[in-house]
Amino acid sequence: MIIEPKTRGFICLTAHPKGCEKNVLNQIEYIKSKPTKNGPKNVLVIGASTGFGLASRITSAYGSNASTIGVYFEKPPTEGRPASPGWYNTAAFETQAHKDGIYAKSINGDAFSHEIKAQTLNLIKEDLGKIDMLIYSLASPVRTHPDTGKRYKSVLKPIGDTFTNNTVDFHTGIVKEISIAPCTDEEIDNTVAVMGGEDWQMWIDLLKSENVLSEDFKTVAYSYIGPSLTEAVYRKGTIGRAKDHLEATAFKITDSLKAINGKGYVSVNKALVTQASSAIPVIPLYISLLYKVMKEEGIHEGCIEQIERLFNERLYDADLQLDEAGRIRVDDWEMRDDIQAKVLELWQQATTETLPDIGDLEGYKTDFFNLFGFNVEGIDYDKDVNEMVEIPGLQ
C-alpha cells in the first residue's frame, strides 16, 4: 500500500515501515564507529521500541555487541492498516541484528503487568542466564496496577496555581497563550503511580529475587528537568512529582542491590521531540527555540547522540560524575547558561509571525514526522510498501 501521514492533534495515526527502518539503520551506523569500552553484554530494555529506549537498545547492541531483550507496547499491522512506529522500528532493528549475528528478542505487551514480567524473566533464564544492565524507558499515559487492578491516568498539570504561558501548535505554527488549571491531590498521586518509580522497583525486585542480575549489575531510568519557563507545568507540576519519585527510587534500588554491588541511576536527558513530549503543553515552543539555538552552536543532539554520550562518557566511564542530587546529567549542553539565556530572549519575542525565523519550527516538524517514518531522506513515499512486516525476534 501507499502510506501517508494521517495526523490528529499531537499524534500521527499511520507509520511508514521503510522510513522507520531507515531511521533505525541510521542510528546503527552512528553507533558502529563509537564502541563502548567495557560496555554491557546482556541488556533488558523496558520501553525499547521508540525514543530513548530504542537508542539505548541500539547503543548496547552495536556499541558493545550486547544481546538485548526489548519490551514494548506496540500495535501490529493488519491488512491495509499500518502498525505503530515502534513495531516497524523493532522489526528493522531485530532484522539487522540477526543479520549481524547479534542476539535480539522482544516481548510486546504491558510492562506494568505481572504476566509480561514473568514472560520476560523466563526468556532471560532460558537465553541469557543473567543480565548486567536494565534500561527503564517507559513513557505511558496510563497504568493498571498489577496487584489491585486499579487503572491510573497521568496528567500534565501545574500544582497549586493556574499556569499561563505561550505554546505553539506545530502543525499550524500558531503561537498562542494557554492556561492550565491546577491539579487535584488525587491527580498528583495518579501521575506518580504511572510515571514514578514503583514499576521500575518491581522489575528489579523480581529479577533480583530470581537471581538473574549479575555482579556489578546497573540499571538506569530517564528523567527531565528543563528550564524555569516550563517548570510550573513540568518539573514542579504533576509529572515532576513522578520524576522526583523515580529519582528517589534509584537510591532505593542501589541500597537493595548491595550484595551484588548493583547500582540504580537516573539520567537526566535533554528535551527532544518524541511521541511523549509532543503532548506536553509549552514544550513544543520551548523545543523549537532550543533546537534553533543548539543547532547554531553546533551542539544539537538526537536520542542516539544523547545515549551514546550517556554510555561512553558517563555510565561506562571509570570517572562517572553525578550532580548534587546524585543524578547523571546529559542535559548539560541544553542547560548551559548561554544556551538558556538565548532561549529566554527568543521566548519573549516569539509570535506566530516571528517564530518561523527565530525558532526551528521546521526542525520540530521534521523530527515529529520522522518519529512515524515520514519525511525521511532517501525514502520514496510514492512507492508501494508492504505494511505486514514481522518482528523476527518477537516471542
The residue ranges that bind ligand NAD (CB under 6 A) are: 47-53, 71-74, 86, 110-112, 137-140, 222-224, 269, 271-272, 274-277
Q: Given the C-alpha cell 516571528, which residue does it identify?
A: 354
**Binding of Na ion at residue 52 (CB under 5 A)?**
yes
User: Which one of ligand NAD, Na ion, none interacts with residue 369, CB within 5 to 8 A by kind?
Assistant: none
Residue 274, classed as helix, strand or coil, is coil
Q: How far is the CB of 53 from Na ion (least distance, A)?
A: 3
55 or 346, CB closer to Na ion?
A: 55
Give the shortest CB-54-to-Na ion separation in angstroms. 6
Q: Does 68 bind Na ion (CB under 5 A)?
A: no
Nearer Cβ to Na ion (51/393): 51
Least separation, in Å, of the C-beta of 18 and ligand NAD? Answer: 20
Binding to Na ion in span 294-353, by CB under 5 A: none
Torsion angle (degrees, nearest 10) of CA 110, 112, 114, 118:
70
- Least separation in angstroms between CB 66 and ligand NAD: 18
**3-class SS at 7?**
strand
Stretch that binds Na ion, among 31-39, 135-143, 315-323, 327-335 (CB under 5 A): 135-143
DSSP-assigned beta bridge partners for residue 361: none
3-state secondary structure of 299: coil
Is 234 catalytic? The answer is yes
Please tell me whether residue 137 binds Na ion under the rule CB under 5 A.
Answer: yes
Q: What, of Na ion, ligand NAD, none, does residue 276 touch, CB below 5 to 8 Å by kind? A: ligand NAD
Q: How far is the CB of 224 from ligand NAD (least distance, A)?
A: 4
Q: Are 62 and 37 in contact (CB under 8 A)?
A: no
Q: How many CB atoms lie within 10 A of CB 160?
A: 10
Using CB under 5 A, which of 17, 19, 47, 281 touches Na ion?
47
Cβ density class 200-215: b for 16+ within 10 Å, e for less: bbbbbeebbeeebbbe
If you write DSSP's letter for every residue of 131-193 in order, what string do you get? EEEEEE----SEEE-TTT--EEE-----SSS-EEEEEEETTTTEEEEEEEPPPPHHHHHHHHH
Distance CA 369, CA 364 (A): 9
Query: CA 101, CA 89: separation in Å to the nearest integer?
Result: 18
Q: Closer to Na ion by CB, 120 or 214: give it.
A: 120
**Which of ligand NAD, Na ion, none does residue 272 bind to, with CB < 5 to 8 Å depending on kind?**
ligand NAD
Question: Left if phi > 0, otherwise alpha if psi is -120 to 50, otherwise beta: which for 65?
Answer: left
Pick the closer one to ligand NAD by CB: 1 or 366.
366
Choosing among ligand NAD, Na ion, none, which partner's interface includes residue 360 (Cβ < 5 to 8 Å by kind)? none
3-state secondary structure at position 280? coil
Q: Which is nearer to ligand NAD, 110 or 189 (CB)?
A: 110
Catalytic residue chosen out of the listed positions 234, 265, 286, 316 = 234
Partner from Na ion, ligand NAD, none contacting 71, C-beta within 5 to 8 A by type: ligand NAD
Cell output for 229: 519557563
**Nearest approach, Cβ of residue 382 and ligand NAD (Å):** 28
Which helix H or strand E contains 206, and what residues bound it? Answer: helix 198-209
Of 137 and 214, the one with the shorter C-beta distance to Na ion is 137
Q: How far is the CB of 222 from ligand NAD (least distance, A)?
A: 3
Residue nearest to Na ion (CB): 53
Task: Choose the contact partner of 222 out of Na ion, ligand NAD, none; CB within 5 to 8 A by kind.
Answer: ligand NAD
Contact 273, 371 (CB under 8 A): yes
Nearer to Na ion among residue 52 and residue 347 (C-beta): 52
Residue pair 273/303 in contact (Cβ under 8 Å)? The answer is no
Is 97 within 8 Å of 186 (Cβ atoms)?
no
The span from the first CA to the last CA of the chain, in angstroms, equals: 27
Q: Which three cell numbers stand for residue 308?
A: 551514546
**Which of the listed partners (ligand NAD, Na ion, none) does 48 bind, with a CB threshold of 5 to 8 Å by partner kind?**
ligand NAD
Q: Active-site residues: which are they?
A: 234
Which residues would be at the binding site for Na ion (CB under 5 A)?
47, 51-53, 137
